[in-house]
Structure 1
């Protein structure tokens, strides 16, 4: 996993007045915990652009001059109106220590079901995994090519020795669903059966709903 460096300065005072003064000066108050002691620091707001305003995830090296910390972003607070960054929490970790992170999921390929008129729907865009920082990927690749209409891709399909998936095995990453406006001409027989079953279930549900209204 890639890492970015953020240069900041230790905070001697953490009161409301000093915090407000920092924000007015374009600085973001931050805290690092998880180590032997809690460290308060601040850094220019623009320093966090590559960390926050990106779909990718990174580990962070916080450089405070005489001290450096290896950490991950734990929590961030935004102003409800301006969206300015109000505060950031970091969690320090050391080499050989496992960490938990949300990793983006990137799809690869075009599902068979989509070629036959289905629609690919994502249930899970980011996965929570745990492992050594050096082993965690920048993103997790989900091969959706084999998916036919009605089929789902579960988290177990992207299992790896590099990390432990923190979701139940039956968690769905994505699925190919039937499009109501698509003709099933040219669809494989097994996909047609699956599609028809889905439509029958939908029809039964609509009938039951109409009867309940009556």
Structure 2
């Protein structure tokens, strides 16, 4: 599992007025909670956050809050409705020996059977929510699509990874090979050829 180190400043003042002041300084208010420990309020520089928020990867975040280290995962981000800038972030502590809940990116590999006959491979879910011990967390959920046929999908319920439990509903489609004009044409041609042989 990838780790990302970020420095943070502790916040002693709370409330909307103080949060607005933090944002004017090009920082984002954050809270760190969980694990039966005290909730910690801090702020992160928006530049340091880019690699965390605007990344296809998922990370165990190592927050250095003025010398105090917090291992955590990003749980929720609130965005501005117009500018889409991050307004507030919740981090949940990673406790040794206890399962971590995190959204992992999906990576597809292999040449799908359906693509070979003209279909188009479509990724429907870019990240899946899982729970596992930190030491068992992979960088990504890698899915072999080699056997995926035209018009077929792979669902979360079809996935089986050792030491990982999926929290995303089993009925959620992860990827599919969709029908295209080329595939329809190939099917029609094959059907016509079969008809002539008869």
TM interval, short-chain normalised: 0.7 to 0.9
Higher Rg of the two aligned structures: 1
Q: Which residue of structure 2 lines up, in the alignment, with residue 18 of structure 1?
A: 18
Does structure 2 conserve the Cα–Cα contact (< 8 Å) formed by 1:154 and 1:173? yes
* CA displacement 1:26-83 (0-9 Å, x = unmatched): 1211111113111101121111111001111101111112311111101111222222
Q: Which residue of structure 2 lines up, in the alignment, with residue 60 of structure 1?
A: 61
**RMSD across aligned positions (CA):** 2.3
Q: Which residue of structure 2 lines up, in the alignment, with residue 77 of structure 1?
A: 78
- TM-score, normalization by structure 2: 0.85
Matched, 1:28 2:28: yes
Cα distance change on mapping 1:20 and 1:115 into 2, 3 Å: same
Task: Tell me by how many angstroms 1:142 deviates.
Answer: 1.0
* CA displacement 1:76-134 (0-9 Å, x = unmatched): 11222222221111111211110111111111012111111122233322211110122
- TM-score, normalization by structure 1: 0.80
Question: How many residue pairs align between the two structures?
Answer: 190
Unaligned ranges ≥5, structure 1: 193-214
Unaligned ranges ≥5, structure 2: none
Cα distance change on mapping 1:73 and 1:109 into 2, 3 Å: same
Cα distance change on mapping 1:25 and 1:150 into 2, 3 Å: closer
Does structure 2 conserve the Cα–Cα contact (< 8 Å) formed by 1:140 and 1:158? no
* CA displacement 1:152-173 (0-9 Å, x = unmatched): 2233443111311124444432
